[in-house]
Structure 1
């Protein structure tokens, strides 16, 4: 998942978190000596402003953020106190250049609170979120400030060109979308809603990793783990030791509904336990119930949209996307659903028929059985299993000989590991990113291994974004959740995990290769339904033979994957393809349905699960065998992140990505000329031009071609 949006929404002035207007941040005791020694309160002395984690302590963040807020407050006051006529230079550009300390400190803070949240950081976050939201309200509803921006918009928009014009448009839009044109009483209510939403979204985000840890499935007898490889059993033992040792082994619940380990577990009762632990983690049947938070978030979002004269939150949210409105989004989804449904029914019947060959004619396939029998069926059909290919997907080789190699071939990039730059965790690595002429382009940080202090999923973001105006190179990071192998052994990945690495690096390239003047417009500062395109497109390089053969080498012998095994694996990629599309469509439609309700239509917490069932049934996606990838109660993209009414963007962007991949395939996938064109026309542009123009300028298509997605998915 792409979560730089979460940080950018703060930095660009579009609040993603929202608490009560009367709520004030809890005072934390901060020693004066801490403030004096605080390295966050001044620019880093390391190259490119890299964070100096060797000097940063958890109690430094709050005072630094407080100081940074006050610094930007004074910068904005200087703008509003200016007696001269408002101009682009003295108002909009001055605003763009304000808050640099706040950008820098929060970029670091929100990275570590997601990737390595200790109890101290959680306490700090509880104070920081309302503080940031209150400050966001203070800026967006400062009428004296907004009137200056509006004057420039009304008088200079048509006089400006290029990035200057785009910056003015985006700044003005960010204020009006927040409610700067509302009457006074509605403006006050909007601020209350923003503040309350900030607290609720923070509470939801804090609940999920705790609930996942609570849902851990403990196993007393190793015999119950039959079907797992020795490596996987060792991982279960390691996970148990790291989580308190309630039993000799445990199975950790990942963020998605279906758990990958179900493909291997032979013990049906244990499969059922794992599946139930996953789907019930936050529905109130256990220690955690997210529904009261969810329905309040949904109700407040709907009210927020109504204050802005939109019929629902989805309409409000989609206004500034490529889809534009719910009509277009649903038309796109229904086109995919129609192609998906008959394929899904055929797949399920084929798996159940296969299972009955060994389990008997009265066997009824359950959702916790699907992965297991699908994997057996796949192995029978293609004569290989995930365990056969994992030895060829050594994480280090995937990174260096796969991801970096492809980036070198296509964009001329080179990567050089650095050991002199400190990180927030010992497992991380840092690389210089160099252009073909040796010029430094960026720093790349990678944090790949799971731990209890890290939230689930995978994402990309930046400590600092690229900006020519600020003379700042991008400091980009990728975060994933792979099980780390025991000391001295290589970490081996599945094919899905390999693709995830390529995916997140596609986001990283979008940030690294940015070549924009303004921070607000640079890198991944684009709409949700465009931002996933570079990442999904980058996945295509994972299976290009020349790239694949370069990294897919046995971790012991160094030999390339045998041709027959490679062909079997790649030939099976669309095996049971309807499942992957169906779980995504189901999650997408659940998201859209919640956000197409008016404030009076939101169900109660007790009705929330039934609402999801009703929605899926009505749109033709209620299928016990293919549940939503994320169910309502643990849908972090929607309730804790920046993808409300926006999860459709993964499918929308995949269409764009397939169209781009088709162009590369036609003109030479590893050809520098094609890569340089994509870099110049797409990856370097950020949000400096209309996104449909950026897409069309490269592909030559006047509009995305959805049929290409169905073909790529084997549908």
Structure 2
């Protein structure tokens, strides 16, 4: 070995002894020891791990032997283990519990990580070794070795490894600037959302809300400085669930406008300058790679493959959806006019309110009728976990001895049907100012046979926690969100792959949402539903007549939900089908959004996008650029999978085992369309059942 490398490694080893330890020997599976890790530990630990990763890559490049799978592809796969461990935990906290110290650390760490990624992605000597292995060995390799080689090679090519020096240098600049902008976005959007609190002076203004909801408004006001006695907190989507019950129309308007304009410059915050610059840089990046726009670049390695297929899929849905949406809006407005007079004009902030009253009149049902039966603790343990037990044989035991980063969290040991330890699962359900909006799944550690690592998986949601001593009651939509995110968790926990790069949810964007969307189907299966839908106080099951009405109501006026998703999807695609010189200015961006929706036939003030451009975190802060369509695409896959489960027996262990072995355990070790075919027997997804499943 080169003596300089040896000295560097010795220095690094000595420095590492002085650094904090992430896990403790007494915790299972390398679980992070949050009782010992200090917020100030992350920066030095990550800096050290970056140096270690850099040295490991240098060793691969310096190796004078002929490049092989073992000394190149496998060596790259095994590098950076310490960095992975620290980043998995750090990135979890910066999303779910971003304190000022962690936010400052993130600002320092992000450019270091981008620099490292650029160094590796554009290391010509390293890529030549990878290309040599791909050209000479790929056809001889088998199984995961072959798949890993393909994935690594193509990732380097897509990153720009084949570019000339000038274009490569520009690509590095673009990557660095995008990471800086996404860091700014990650700071600005939560601040904008927290800054859009609607302050309320009197309890009377909250007429229509339950006592529990009013208590939550009081609690939210107190936690934010008590400017007034009550506060309504804005959540991440455009429409706000609280509008369903607010009698005060002007307060409904204020809440809706606070949501819609949280980050568009009409208030304190404006994300459009970030949006415009990211869009331009992505378009330029695609052009450097030889694509006409970023959407073409992004879609190449998805199931959909190209924009034509995506737009063909969407236009079919839009054509079928539009008349149903128009009829739904007219029905709600006609109902409202019966109560408010013939000259009443329905506004978007009225829609949820009168739709709920219409549902109450037609079905004699409201959210407050059913929420007492949806205690979050029962939904998780007796619903989400019970379904996983019935379908996959999994068993869950709470571990109160494992430290967490927040006292609201719970940790569960997950054991397989044969009693073997399978995973750890962390649940972080309640909202707080340090947590970004939305719901998600990720991992403190991914499953890997090569690393001898069992998965450590977590789910994060943003539910309002009930006052101390009271059960937290949730809506049906929130129930299905728990099942949805746990579908992602199952994809991570049931992974059985050798390589970390290929394991768990490391699949195409328009496949990764399928297991989660499919898992929602178990929420309404009678045996599962009856097991968790029990009164929070009495423990009695939901009465049969109420259950029948509730299940019927699931598909009541569902055109809205499809429409808001379609509108957001088309906004995402519109931005990413532009060349760099076509990107509008920040001042023009709001009008661009309107024009884009009009062009595709989705401009409807009654059905705004689920996420408007200025707070579309999936696209500007996350990994869904030109990929938000995948929620609808994978819903089709999920419908097809649910039909197969129904045909084979939804709760039969044999059915769950087949899905587990053919899909959930496979990660990215196989083409996802082939996995889909293996389980369903279908060569291609069938979209015809989507509107049926949505009750349309």
The equivalences for 1:478-627 within 5 A come to 478-627=459-608
- Choose from 132, 135, 138 the match for 1:151: 132
User: Residue 35 of structure 1: CA displacement?
Assistant: 7.9
The answer for the alignment partner of 1:13 in structure 2 is none
CA distance in 1, matches of 2:73, 2:173: 27
The answer for the alignment partner of 1:472 in structure 2 is 453
CA distance in 2, matches of 1:450, 1:375: 25
C-alpha deviations, 1:280-310, integer Å up to 9, x for none? 1001011101111100000000000000000
CA distance in 2, matches of 1:695, 1:377: 40
CA distance in 2, matches of 1:78, 1:276: 56
CA distance in 1, matches of 2:585, 2:59: 47
User: Residue 573 of structure 1: CA displacement?
Assistant: 1.0
The answer for the alignment partner of 2:10 in structure 1 is none
**Partner SS state of residue 447, structure 1:** strand
The answer for the alignment partner of 1:89 in structure 2 is 70
The equivalences for 1:387-402 within 5 A come to 387-402=368-383
Kept in 2: contact 1:226–1:267 (CA 8 A): yes
User: Residue 120 of structure 1: CA displacement?
Assistant: 0.5
CA distance in 1, matches of 2:621, 2:520: 26
User: Residue 43 of structure 1: CA displacement?
Assistant: 7.4
1:647 counterpart = 2:628: yes
CA distance in 2, matches of 1:406, 1:277: 38
Unaligned runs of 5+ in 1: 1-31
CA distance in 1, matches of 2:339, 2:694: 30
Kept in 1: contact 2:24–2:33 (CA 8 A): no
User: Residue 44 of structure 1: CA displacement?
Assistant: 5.9
CA distance in 1, matches of 2:397, 2:554: 33
The answer for the alignment partner of 1:21 in structure 2 is none
CA distance in 1, matches of 2:279, 2:431: 31
- Choose from 104, 126, 129 the match for 2:85: 104
The equivalences for 1:438-477 within 5 A come to 438-477=419-458
- After TM superposition, what 4+ stretches of structure 1 lie above 6 angstroms from structure 2? 32-35
Larger RCO (alpha carbons 8 Å, 6+ apart): 1
CA distance in 2, matches of 1:587, 1:517: 37
- Choose from 401, 408, 416 the match for 1:420: 401
Kept in 2: contact 1:459–1:478 (CA 8 A): yes
1:165 counterpart = 2:165: no
C-alpha deviations, 1:639-667, integer Å up to 9, x for none? 00000000000000100001000111111
Change (3 A) 1:443 1:292: same
1:174 counterpart = 2:155: yes
**Partner SS state of residue 403, structure 1:** helix
Kept in 2: contact 1:61–1:105 (CA 8 A): yes
The answer for the alignment partner of 2:196 in structure 1 is 215
1:38 counterpart = 2:20: yes
RMSD: 1.1
User: Residue 37 of structure 1: CA displacement?
Assistant: 5.2
1:318 counterpart = 2:318: no
C-alpha deviations, 1:553-591, integer Å up to 9, x for none? 001111110111111011111111110000000000000
C-alpha deviations, 1:27-66, integer Å up to 9, x for none? xxxxx999825123x7765210100001111111111111
C-alpha deviations, 1:514-562, integer Å up to 9, x for none? 0000000000000110000000000000000000000000011111101
The answer for the alignment partner of 1:226 in structure 2 is 207
1:367 counterpart = 2:326: no
C-alpha deviations, 1:605-633, integer Å up to 9, x for none? 00000000000001000000000000000
The answer for the alignment partner of 1:666 in structure 2 is 647
The answer for the alignment partner of 1:117 in structure 2 is 98
- Choose from 321, 324, 330 the match for 1:343: 324
Kept in 1: contact 2:533–2:542 (CA 8 A): yes
Kept in 1: contact 2:19–2:45 (CA 8 A): no
**Partner SS state of residue 39, structure 1:** coil
The answer for the alignment partner of 1:685 in structure 2 is 666
User: Residue 161 of structure 1: CA displacement?
Assistant: 1.1
**Partner SS state of residue 580, structure 2:** coil
CA distance in 2, matches of 1:598, 1:254: 33
The answer for the alignment partner of 2:619 in structure 1 is 638
The answer for the alignment partner of 2:689 in structure 1 is 708
CA distance in 1, matches of 2:179, 2:407: 31
CA distance in 1, matches of 2:686, 2:15: 60
More deviation, 73-82/605-614: 73-82
1:292 counterpart = 2:259: no
The answer for the alignment partner of 1:7 in structure 2 is none
Kept in 2: contact 1:163–1:517 (CA 8 A): yes
C-alpha deviations, 1:228-278, integer Å up to 9, x for none? 000000000000000110000000000000000000000000000000000
CA distance in 2, matches of 1:318, 1:43: 42
**Partner SS state of residue 195, structure 1:** helix
C-alpha deviations, 1:119-153, integer Å up to 9, x for none? 00000000111110010000000000010000000
- Choose from 381, 390, 408 the match for 2:362: 381
The equivalences for 1:192-341 within 5 A come to 192-341=173-322
C-alpha deviations, 1:377-425, integer Å up to 9, x for none? 0111111100000000011100111011111110000001101110000
CA distance in 2, matches of 1:89, 1:70: 22
CA distance in 2, matches of 1:383, 1:122: 48
Unaligned runs of 5+ in 2: 1-13
**Partner SS state of residue 702, structure 1:** coil
User: Residue 213 of structure 1: CA displacement?
Assistant: 1.0
CA distance in 2, matches of 1:698, 1:66: 44
CA distance in 2, matches of 1:400, 1:696: 32
User: Residue 636 of structure 1: CA displacement?
Assistant: 0.4
- State the aligned residue count: 683
**Partner SS state of residue 426, structure 2:** strand
**Partner SS state of residue 600, structure 1:** helix
CA distance in 2, matches of 1:600, 1:163: 42
CA distance in 2, matches of 1:82, 1:211: 50
**Partner SS state of residue 218, structure 1:** strand
**Partner SS state of residue 496, structure 2:** coil
C-alpha deviations, 1:49-103, integer Å up to 9, x for none? 1000011111111111111111111111111111110000110011111110011
CA distance in 1, matches of 2:345, 2:689: 35
Give me the TM-score of the superposition, normalised by structure 1.
Answer: 0.95
CA distance in 2, matches of 1:43, 1:64: 16
CA distance in 2, matches of 1:250, 1:134: 43
Kept in 2: contact 1:553–1:560 (CA 8 A): yes
C-alpha deviations, 1:480-525, integer Å up to 9, x for none? 0000011111111100000000000000000000000000000000
Kept in 2: contact 1:44–1:51 (CA 8 A): no
The answer for the alignment partner of 1:140 in structure 2 is 121
CA distance in 2, matches of 1:447, 1:44: 24
